[in-house]
Amino acid sequence: MLCGINQQQIFEDTEDYDKFLQVLKDCKNICGYKLFAYCLMGNHIHLLIKPEKESLEQIFKRIAGRYVYWYNVKYQRIGHLFQDRFKSDPVEDDSYFLMVLRYIHQNPVKAGICEKVIEHKYSSYMEYTSNSQIADTDFAFKMISKNELERYTNEKNSDKCLEIENYQKIRVTDEQAKRIIENISGCNNIAEFQKLDIKYRDKFITNFKEKGLSIRQISRLTGISFAIVRKI
């Protein structure tokens, strides 16, 4: 798992999601890893990867480096985008593999972003239900049929793998929150908001809270640290 610094957004629009998927594909060709599953969320990424030619450290260095360079150029910013080192957990047997696969694909549903797994555009689930593009789906289908996998993935469960610390379910969805932030501040992305005069920034943040956004959500979507938003 890779997480945005201060849990801020790392994808602003569809171009950003598409670019990250292209980076995954390019790095897969270079590093030779197997990619069994992925899910791109607003402020973090889940990947189920088997290293082959290169180590996990080198793989994530390539992936993060390529995307951050592109992102910083696009949004005219400098500095880190991802928080600390990636988090990882070993998958050592078939049953845990299937659970992690389900956990990754169900992430958007459990986060309240959509009601059904198939509705999230930026996960590998659709590659398991139709044609694979980036994901290596054959490995899972040696254990379970397509119909069984669909049933298994959509079952209610209490699976827990890698979690973002202090995650809270939000009252306003991130898409709604983005529109609120854009309408109030006139800023189209995080980089623009971070360049605001402090006086205006603080006023806008107060307005966001009044509109129902949580402190942690405001921090994620504006790139302003949690401590500063809480103080405001």
Mean pLDDT of 165-173: 53
| Better pLDDT: 176 or 20 | 20
Q: Supply 155's token pair.
A: 């079952």
Beta carbons within 8 Å of 173's beta carbon, 6+ residues apart: 112, 113
Q: Give the whole-angstrom CA distance, residue 187 versus residue 172.
A: 19
In the structure, what pLDDT confidence band is assigned to residue 162 with cuts at 50, 70 and 90?
A: low
pLDDT for 32? 93
| Better pLDDT: 161 or 94 | 94
The pLDDT of residue 164 is above 80? no
pLDDT for 5? 86
Q: Give the whole-angstrom CA distance, residue 122 versus residue 132.
A: 13
pLDDT for 163? 59
Q: Give the whole-angstrom CA distance, residue 91 versus residue 50.
A: 9
Task: Say whether pTM exceeds 0.75.
Answer: no
The pLDDT of residue 172 is above 80? no
Q: Give the whole-angstrom CA distance, residue 213 versus residue 219.
A: 10
Q: Which residues pair with residue 121 across a beta bridge?
A: none
The pLDDT of residue 85 is above 80? no
Q: Give the whole-angstrom CA distance, residue 139 versus residue 3.
A: 27
Q: Give the whole-angstrom CA distance, residue 8 versus residue 216.
A: 9
Residue 111, SS3?
coil
Q: Give the whole-angstrom CA distance, residue 218 versus residue 232.
A: 11
Mean pLDDT of 14-24: 96
pLDDT for 167? 41
Beta carbons within 8 Å of 24's beta carbon, 6+ residues apart: 35, 38, 47, 63, 134
Residue 38 phi, psi dihedral angles, 5° rounding:
-150, 155
pLDDT for 140? 96
Q: Identify whether the C-beta of residue 43 lies closer than 8 Å to the C-beta of residue 83.
A: no
Mean pLDDT of 129-138: 92
Q: Give the whole-angstrom CA distance, residue 8 versus residue 71.
A: 13
Helices (H), 13-167: 14-31, 56-74, 94-110, 125-129, 138-141, 146-153
Residue 48 phi, psi dihedral angles, 5° rounding:
-110, 105
**2-153, what's its fold?**
Alpha-Beta Plaits (3.30.70)
Lowest mean pLDDT among 54-63, 129-138, 157-166, 198-207: 157-166
In the structure, what pLDDT confidence band is assigned to residue 127 with cuts at 50, 70 and 90?
A: very high
pLDDT for 169? 45
**Mean pLDDT in the chain?**
89
Q: Identify whether the C-beta of residue 27 lies closer than 8 Å to the C-beta of residue 63.
A: yes
2-3 vs 44-50, strand pairing mode: antiparallel
Domain ranges in the chain? Answer: 2-153, 174-231
